[in-house]
Amino acid sequence: MDQQSPSRLRVFIADDHPVVLSGMKALVAGDPGLEVVGEASDGPNALRRATELKPDVAVLDLSMPGLNGIEVARKFLAVCPDCRVLVLTVHEDGAYLRQLLDLGVAGYVLKGSATDELIRGINAVGSG
């Protein structure tokens, strides 16, 4: 197989809903500038796998069993400060989202957004 292009963003995805996880993987895999490097369906596995893989962007569902997305993001960014985190959430409360950004999360996408918003969010976060 051909070598991976260095310009492709390496993306890790975590969501506890199998249909959502599968859909996100398909969206990301369908973009030639992105590569899915791993996935998880709960908080502890998301933290372990993301820490091992050190993706360019980790897309984390906010509500996962075991550890929620906030705790995963906090612990992950502590060990991988050069990685970027994009949170997927249903919460639209400004104060709540500000807390995420203060934590070091690079951005968020609302679950109700159009699918192209996820790809744009990953690319925006990945490029800084």
Q: What is the pLDDT of residues 26-56, one digit of tens each?
A: 999 999 999 999 999 999 999 999 999 999 9
Beta strands in the chain (DSSP E): 9-14, 34-40, 57-61, 84-89, 107-110
Q: Could you report the per-residue pLDDT of 64-87, keeping only the tens digit for each?
A: 999 988 899 999 999 999 999 999
- Lookup: tokens for 65: 């069993």
Structural domain contains residue 47? yes
pLDDT for the residue 2 = 44
User: Average pLDDT in the 93-112 region?
Assistant: 84
Structural domain contains residue 1? no
Exposed (0-12), middle (13-18) or buried (19+): which is 57, by Cβ within 10 Å? buried
* Number of domains forming the structure of the chain: 1
Structural domain contains residue 67? yes
CATH number of the domain enclosing 77: 3.40.50.2300
pLDDT of 99 higher than 90: no
Structural domain contains residue 29? yes
Alpha-carbon span 81 to 87, nearest angstrom: 16
Instruction: Find the domain containing 87 and state its range.
Output: 9-126
